[in-house]
Amino acid sequence: MKKIVIGITGASGSIYGKRIIEKLNELGHEIHIIITDNGKKVFSHELEIDFEYFLSLFDSNIHNYKIDDMFAPIASGSFKIDSMIIVPTSMGTMAKIANGISDNLICRTADVCIKEKINLTLVPRETPLSVIHLENMLKLSKIGINMVPPLPSFYDLPKNIDEIIDNSVGRIIKSSGIDNNFYNIWNGGD
């Protein structure tokens, strides 16, 4: 069992955060969650479910922290985690991380991952991308941060939106160093 931190920001794409929490729980991992205030609003709007109610559906291995709780254990490098996924990642959060601004628990935990060389995956959700967005992505990518935009693949002929989402979710989880079978591997068309 691994300890995984999930950060959810106010960018569109709450379904990816929700599904990653569900899939990591299904795999039996310990999950530490941080969500911004706007992340809660977008989650509720896009998924038509209250975030706190969603978390109440789980019975174990889920730890939830307030965005401003800088005394949370995950704010320290002495608390050992295996990886962090910020999904979706707003461009504002990415800019803060790229420039070392740790003014909330998501950014502080990402900063800890960078300094401790812990796997960090960002799932950027914005289009079109500006030069500033791209420069921040490049800056973070150069220091080993995984950039995994949730782009659909169609080679596996998905039958519905759930298959499209799960394929992206599987790739995001894989980039965090967690084996899973939630995505399809190209087999050359056979």
- What is the per-residue pLDDT across 95-125, written as a single tens digit (0 to 9) for each? 999 999 999 999 999 999 999 999 999 999 9
What is the residue-averaged pLDDT of the chain? 96
- pLDDT at site 154: 92
Task: Measure the CA–CA gap between 90 and 184, rounded to whole angstroms.
Answer: 27
Per-domain residue ranges of the chain: 3-175
- The string of pLDDT tens digits covering residues 31-77 is 999 999 999 999 999 999 999 999 999 988 899 999 999 999 999 99
Top-level class of domain 3-175: alpha beta
- pLDDT at site 101: 98
Q: Provide the Cα torsion 156, 46, 27, 73; round to 10°.
A: 140
Task: Measure the CA–CA gap between 137 and 131, rounded to whole angstroms.
Answer: 10
- pLDDT at site 184: 83
Q: Which percentage of the chain shows pLDDT scores above 70? A: 99
Q: Which of 78, 69, 65, 61 is nearest to 1 (CA)?
A: 61
Q: State mean pLDDT over 4-15.
A: 98
Task: Measure the CA–CA gap between 48 and 165, rounded to whole angstroms.
Answer: 17
- pLDDT at site 80: 97
- pLDDT at site 189: 65
- pLDDT at site 60: 80
Is the pLDDT assigned to residue 190 strictly greater than 70? no
Q: Provide the Cα torsion 117, 70, 79, 61; round to 10°.
A: -110
